[in-house]
Structure 1
Amino acid sequence: MNFLFFNLLNDGGPTFMYPTLLMLLICIVLIVKVFLKGDLGGKTVSLIKHISLFALAWGFLGFFVGLIDAFDAISRATDINQGVLAGGLKIGLLSPSFGIVTFLVARLGIIALLFNKKD
């Protein structure tokens, strides 16, 4: 299972996948910190929101950069197999999918913090 996860990170493009993983871990650590210590000024929750949105945009940027590279390769090729094209698109969708997962985890954490908030 661990090898599959790291294979997906490498397949999706380490330039975009590993920073997204780092953003996911930062969001989780910040959510746990707020649960344990609180966030009186709301700075930490705001930071989690910004990091999660950045992770989402970063994932889609990875997709578009990969798509541009793929179209360059297709324009140079004389014969493209449908399986190769579909496989490339599948790999290209890993980065935005991981960005969406990071966004959703952070947002679910924020929802949990709001439910747990003491007035």
Structure 2
Amino acid sequence: MNIIEIHVEGGILFMGILFFLLIGVIATSVLVIKNKADQPKAKKWLKISQEIALFALVFGILGQLVGLVGAFQAIEQVGEVSQALLAGGLKVSSYTTLYGFFIFLLAKLFKIGFQFTRK
């Protein structure tokens, strides 16, 4: 399974927004590096990067909760479902949370690296 299939299977709305949040974290991280000499400006961009990353984490969890509610509604309508079908639904609902965590960890690693290299 490639990354595009995961984006589609995880829900194009939530995964698409998370992708743009990833681009935002990368862009603000580049601005931190670009403005490294100007500490106040670099700190401002670093804070924005961290806020975007935190939003991505929470948004990923929201995506999972929305997916779970939809899955539980479908199970309620159908009645009994197999364990394999339930496990597959839980796996798919976890994609947004994993993506949000990935974005969050990437931004945190960048922050640690930036603080380690600065004077």
Quick check: TM above 0.5?
A: yes
Identity %, equivalent residues: 34
Residues 11-90 of structure 1 correspond to what in structure 2 (within 5 A)?
A: 11-38=9-36, 39-41=38-40, 42-90=43-91
State the Cα distance separating 1:117 from its structure 2 match. Answer: 1.3
Cross-structure match for 1:114: 115
Distance in 1, Cα, partners of 2:84 & 2:70: 17
State the Cα distance separating 1:17 from its structure 2 match. Answer: 0.8
Residue deviations 1:36-94 (CA, integer Å, cap 9, x gap): 32252221111011000000000000000000000100000133111110000000000
Cross-structure match for 1:105: 106
Distance in 1, Cα, partners of 2:76 & 2:26: 42
How many correspondences in the alignment? 116
Distance in 2, Cα, partners of 1:76 & 1:24: 36
Distance in 1, Cα, partners of 2:69 & 2:87: 15
Residue deviations 1:5-43 (CA, integer Å, cap 9, x gap): 111011111111111111111111211221132252221
Query: Is there any run of 5+ residues in structure 1 with no aligned partner, and where?
Result: none
Q: Which has the higher contact order (CA 8 A, sep 6+)?
A: 1
Distance in 1, Cα, partners of 2:57 & 2:77: 31
- 99-108 or 9-18, which moves further after superposition? 9-18
RMSD: 1.3
Distance in 1, Cα, partners of 2:58 & 2:31: 25
TM-score (norm 2): 0.91
TM-score (norm 1): 0.91
Query: Is there any run of 5+ residues in structure 2 with no aligned partner, and where?
Result: none
Q: Contact (CA 8 Å) 1:62, 1:95: kept in 2 or not?
A: yes
Q: Contact (CA 8 Å) 1:24, 1:106: kept in 2 or not?
A: no
DSSP-derived class of the 2:62 partner: helix
Distance in 2, Cα, partners of 1:29 & 1:116: 19
